Amino acid sequence: MTPNTTISVEAEPYAFEFQPTTCALLIIDMQRDFLEPGGFGEMLGNDVSQLRCTIEPNKRLLSVWRARGWHVIHTREGHRPDLGCLPPAKKIRGRSPTSIGDQGPMGRILVRGEAGHDIIPELYPQFGEAVIDKPGKGAFYATDLHAILMNRGVKQLIVTGVTTEVCVNTTVREANDRGYDCLVPSDCVGSYFPEFQEMGLKMIKAQGGIFGWVSHSDKILAALK
Protein backbone atom coordinates (compact mmCIF):
# COMPACT_ATOMS: atom_id res chain seq x y z
CA MET A 1 0.00 0.00 0.00
CA THR A 2 1.54 3.33 -1.06
CA PRO A 3 0.64 6.62 0.67
CA ASN A 4 -1.48 7.59 -2.34
CA THR A 5 -3.48 4.37 -2.41
CA THR A 6 -7.21 4.96 -2.10
CA ILE A 7 -8.68 2.95 0.75
CA SER A 8 -12.37 2.11 0.70
CA VAL A 9 -14.12 1.48 4.02
CA GLU A 10 -17.53 -0.13 4.23
CA ALA A 11 -19.68 2.56 5.82
CA GLU A 12 -23.11 4.15 5.88
CA PRO A 13 -24.65 5.72 3.87
CA TYR A 14 -22.03 4.42 1.41
CA ALA A 15 -18.33 3.53 1.26
CA PHE A 16 -15.90 6.10 2.67
CA GLU A 17 -12.84 6.47 0.45
CA PHE A 18 -9.64 8.11 1.65
CA GLN A 19 -5.96 8.48 0.93
CA PRO A 20 -3.70 8.05 3.97
CA THR A 21 -1.66 11.19 3.32
CA THR A 22 -4.72 13.45 3.38
CA CYS A 23 -6.74 11.81 6.16
CA ALA A 24 -6.19 12.39 9.90
CA LEU A 25 -7.30 10.42 12.92
CA LEU A 26 -8.89 13.07 15.17
CA ILE A 27 -9.43 11.83 18.72
CA ILE A 28 -11.81 14.03 20.67
CA ASP A 29 -11.48 14.68 24.42
CA MET A 30 -10.42 11.23 25.69
CA GLN A 31 -9.61 12.97 28.96
CA ARG A 32 -9.64 11.73 32.52
CA ASP A 33 -12.25 14.44 33.24
CA PHE A 34 -14.75 12.56 31.05
CA LEU A 35 -13.69 8.92 31.53
CA GLU A 36 -12.63 8.67 35.17
CA PRO A 37 -14.54 9.25 38.41
CA GLY A 38 -14.18 12.63 40.11
CA GLY A 39 -14.02 14.74 36.94
CA PHE A 40 -16.26 16.96 34.86
CA GLY A 41 -18.37 14.09 33.46
CA GLU A 42 -19.25 12.82 36.91
CA MET A 43 -19.83 16.38 38.14
CA LEU A 44 -22.56 16.65 35.49
CA GLY A 45 -24.25 13.62 37.05
CA ASN A 46 -23.05 10.98 34.61
CA ASP A 47 -21.90 7.38 35.03
CA VAL A 48 -18.43 7.71 33.50
CA SER A 49 -17.91 3.94 33.22
CA GLN A 50 -20.28 4.09 30.23
CA LEU A 51 -17.53 5.62 28.10
CA ARG A 52 -14.74 3.17 28.87
CA CYS A 53 -15.79 0.70 26.15
CA THR A 54 -14.39 3.21 23.63
CA ILE A 55 -10.82 2.89 24.93
CA GLU A 56 -9.83 -0.45 23.37
CA PRO A 57 -11.14 0.26 19.86
CA ASN A 58 -9.43 3.68 19.95
CA LYS A 59 -6.18 2.03 21.04
CA ARG A 60 -6.34 -0.38 18.12
CA LEU A 61 -6.99 2.37 15.58
CA LEU A 62 -4.36 4.66 17.10
CA SER A 63 -1.70 1.95 17.04
CA VAL A 64 -2.29 1.34 13.33
CA TRP A 65 -2.18 5.06 12.51
CA ARG A 66 1.03 5.42 14.51
CA ALA A 67 2.65 2.36 12.98
CA ARG A 68 2.02 3.74 9.50
CA GLY A 69 3.13 7.26 10.34
CA TRP A 70 -0.23 8.82 9.40
CA HIS A 71 -1.64 12.06 10.89
CA VAL A 72 -2.91 11.81 14.48
CA ILE A 73 -4.46 14.76 16.34
CA HIS A 74 -5.85 14.79 19.88
CA THR A 75 -8.15 17.37 21.46
CA ARG A 76 -8.85 18.33 25.05
CA GLU A 77 -11.77 20.42 26.31
CA GLY A 78 -10.74 22.81 29.04
CA HIS A 79 -9.90 26.29 30.20
CA ARG A 80 -6.97 28.49 31.14
CA PRO A 81 -6.11 28.41 34.85
CA ASP A 82 -7.36 32.01 35.16
CA LEU A 83 -10.61 30.88 33.49
CA GLY A 84 -10.26 33.74 31.02
CA CYS A 85 -11.65 31.59 28.20
CA LEU A 86 -14.57 30.26 30.24
CA PRO A 87 -17.86 31.91 29.32
CA PRO A 88 -19.79 32.82 32.50
CA ALA A 89 -22.80 30.99 31.03
CA LYS A 90 -20.77 27.75 30.85
CA LYS A 91 -19.51 28.24 34.42
CA ILE A 92 -22.99 28.46 35.94
CA ARG A 93 -24.83 26.04 33.64
CA GLY A 94 -26.35 23.11 35.50
CA ARG A 95 -26.47 24.85 38.89
CA SER A 96 -24.11 22.19 40.25
CA PRO A 97 -22.56 22.83 43.68
CA THR A 98 -19.17 22.16 42.05
CA SER A 99 -18.34 23.72 38.71
CA ILE A 100 -15.53 24.25 36.19
CA GLY A 101 -12.42 25.59 37.91
CA ASP A 102 -13.32 24.17 41.33
CA GLN A 103 -11.04 21.72 43.08
CA GLY A 104 -11.82 18.02 42.56
CA PRO A 105 -10.02 14.73 43.22
CA MET A 106 -8.09 15.08 39.92
CA GLY A 107 -7.32 18.78 40.39
CA ARG A 108 -9.32 21.77 39.23
CA ILE A 109 -12.18 20.59 37.05
CA LEU A 110 -11.66 21.06 33.27
CA VAL A 111 -8.65 23.32 33.78
CA ARG A 112 -5.56 23.04 31.56
CA GLY A 113 -2.53 21.61 33.31
CA GLU A 114 -4.55 19.65 35.88
CA ALA A 115 -4.43 15.85 36.05
CA GLY A 116 -8.12 15.47 35.19
CA HIS A 117 -7.78 17.61 32.09
CA ASP A 118 -5.15 15.39 30.56
CA ILE A 119 -5.67 12.53 28.14
CA ILE A 120 -6.12 9.06 29.63
CA PRO A 121 -2.86 7.07 29.83
CA GLU A 122 -4.14 4.40 27.43
CA LEU A 123 -4.27 6.93 24.57
CA TYR A 124 -1.59 9.37 25.69
CA PRO A 125 -0.26 11.50 22.82
CA GLN A 126 3.17 10.77 21.44
CA PHE A 127 5.76 13.29 20.28
CA GLY A 128 4.68 14.73 16.92
CA GLU A 129 0.95 14.32 17.50
CA ALA A 130 -0.78 17.70 17.74
CA VAL A 131 -2.84 18.30 20.87
CA ILE A 132 -5.55 20.93 20.44
CA ASP A 133 -6.79 22.66 23.59
CA LYS A 134 -10.31 23.86 22.97
CA PRO A 135 -12.57 25.95 25.19
CA GLY A 136 -15.78 24.78 23.54
CA LYS A 137 -17.47 21.64 22.38
CA GLY A 138 -16.36 21.94 18.75
CA ALA A 139 -12.66 21.41 18.00
CA PHE A 140 -12.58 24.22 15.41
CA TYR A 141 -13.99 27.01 17.59
CA ALA A 142 -11.22 29.25 19.00
CA THR A 143 -8.43 26.81 18.01
CA ASP A 144 -5.82 26.47 15.24
CA LEU A 145 -7.11 23.05 14.15
CA HIS A 146 -8.28 24.24 10.71
CA ALA A 147 -4.89 25.88 10.03
CA ILE A 148 -3.01 22.75 11.11
CA LEU A 149 -5.14 20.54 8.86
CA MET A 150 -4.81 22.88 5.88
CA ASN A 151 -1.04 23.20 6.35
CA ARG A 152 -0.74 19.42 6.31
CA GLY A 153 -3.08 19.03 3.32
CA VAL A 154 -5.62 17.05 5.33
CA LYS A 155 -9.06 16.89 3.73
CA GLN A 156 -10.67 13.97 5.50
CA LEU A 157 -11.06 13.05 9.15
CA ILE A 158 -11.72 9.89 11.07
CA VAL A 159 -13.35 11.31 14.18
CA THR A 160 -13.40 9.32 17.42
CA GLY A 161 -13.72 10.09 21.14
CA VAL A 162 -16.32 11.41 23.54
CA THR A 163 -19.09 12.25 23.75
CA THR A 164 -20.93 11.24 20.61
CA GLU A 165 -23.74 13.78 20.77
CA VAL A 166 -21.76 16.65 22.28
CA CYS A 167 -18.12 17.22 21.28
CA VAL A 168 -17.95 14.60 18.53
CA ASN A 169 -21.15 15.78 16.85
CA THR A 170 -20.27 19.46 17.23
CA THR A 171 -16.81 18.86 15.74
CA VAL A 172 -18.17 16.80 12.83
CA ARG A 173 -20.65 19.57 12.02
CA GLU A 174 -17.95 22.24 12.20
CA ALA A 175 -15.65 20.11 10.02
CA ASN A 176 -18.39 19.47 7.49
CA ASP A 177 -19.04 23.20 7.06
CA ARG A 178 -15.33 23.73 6.46
CA GLY A 179 -15.27 21.15 3.66
CA TYR A 180 -13.89 18.07 5.42
CA ASP A 181 -15.30 14.56 4.96
CA CYS A 182 -15.76 12.85 8.33
CA LEU A 183 -16.00 9.16 9.09
CA VAL A 184 -17.14 8.19 12.59
CA PRO A 185 -16.46 4.61 13.76
CA SER A 186 -19.40 3.85 16.07
CA ASP A 187 -17.43 1.74 18.56
CA CYS A 188 -14.77 4.46 18.98
CA VAL A 189 -17.25 7.11 20.13
CA GLY A 190 -19.24 6.99 23.36
CA SER A 191 -22.10 8.65 25.18
CA TYR A 192 -23.38 8.60 28.76
CA PHE A 193 -26.81 7.98 27.17
CA PRO A 194 -27.47 4.94 24.91
CA GLU A 195 -30.29 6.73 23.10
CA PHE A 196 -28.03 9.70 22.29
CA GLN A 197 -25.32 7.33 21.04
CA GLU A 198 -27.80 5.84 18.60
CA MET A 199 -29.38 9.12 17.50
CA GLY A 200 -26.06 11.00 17.45
CA LEU A 201 -24.76 8.54 14.88
CA LYS A 202 -28.01 8.45 12.91
CA MET A 203 -27.96 12.24 12.61
CA ILE A 204 -24.52 12.14 10.98
CA LYS A 205 -25.27 9.53 8.33
CA ALA A 206 -28.92 10.42 7.54
CA GLN A 207 -30.00 12.24 4.38
CA GLY A 208 -27.22 10.77 2.25
CA GLY A 209 -24.54 11.54 4.85
CA ILE A 210 -25.64 15.07 5.72
CA PHE A 211 -22.66 15.50 8.07
CA GLY A 212 -20.57 12.43 7.24
CA TRP A 213 -20.22 8.66 7.33
CA VAL A 214 -20.59 6.06 10.09
CA SER A 215 -18.73 2.77 10.23
CA HIS A 216 -16.94 0.51 12.77
CA SER A 217 -13.25 0.21 13.65
CA ASP A 218 -13.28 -3.43 12.47
CA LYS A 219 -14.28 -2.24 9.01
CA ILE A 220 -11.56 0.38 8.93
CA LEU A 221 -8.95 -2.16 10.02
CA ALA A 222 -10.26 -4.70 7.48
CA ALA A 223 -9.89 -2.11 4.70
CA LEU A 224 -6.25 -1.56 5.71
CA LYS A 225 -5.26 -5.22 5.54
Least distance in angstroms from the C-beta of 10 to ligand TIU: 27
Half-sphere exposure at residue 54, Cβ-oriented, CA atoms within 13 angstroms: 30
CB atoms within 10 A of CB 52: 14
Q: Provide the strand spans (E) within the chain.
A: 7-9, 16-18, 23-28, 72-77, 103-104, 107-108, 130-134, 156-162, 181-185, 189-190, 213-215
CB atoms within 10 A of CB 80: 14
Give the one residue of 24, 26, 157, 166 binding ligand TIU; rule: CB under 6 A.
Answer: 166
Least distance in angstroms from the C-beta of 208 to ligand TIU: 26
CB atoms within 10 A of CB 206: 14
Cα separation, 164 vs 51, in Å, equals 10
Give the binding range for ligand TIU (CB under 6 A) out of 85-93, 96-104, 162-170, 171-179.
162-170
**Between residues 44 and 150, which has the closer beta carbon with respect to ligand TIU?**
44
Residue among 134, 137, 205, 219 flagged as catalytic: 134
Does the annotation mark 218 as catalytic?
no
Does the annotation mark 134 as catalytic?
yes
Does the annotation mark 167 as catalytic?
yes
Per CB under 6 A, contacts with ligand TIU among 61-90 are 77
Does 42 engage in binding with ligand TIU (CB under 6 A)?
no
Does 142 engage in binding with ligand TIU (CB under 6 A)?
no
Q: What is the dihedral of CA 62, 68, 69, 70, to 10 degrees?
A: -70
**How many helices and strands in the chain, by DSSP H and E?**
8, 11
Residue among 33, 118, 167, 188 flagged as catalytic: 167
Give the one residue of 86, 145, 162, 201 binding ligand TIU; rule: CB under 6 A.
Answer: 162
Query: H/E element holding 17?
Result: strand 16-18
How many residues of this chain bind ligand TIU (CB under 6 A)? 10
Least distance in angstroms from the C-beta of 55 to ligand TIU: 15
For residue 199, give the 3-state DSSP assignment: helix
Per CB under 6 A, contacts with ligand TIU among 179-208 are 192
CB atoms within 10 A of CB 122: 13
* Contact between residue 101 and residue 33 where contact means Cβ atoms under 8 Å apart: no
Does 133 engage in binding with ligand TIU (CB under 6 A)?
no
Least distance in angstroms from the C-beta of 57 to ligand TIU: 17
Point out the residues that are catalytic. 29, 134, 167
Applying CB under 6 A, the residues found at the interface with ligand TIU are 29, 34, 44, 77, 137, 162-163, 166-167, 192
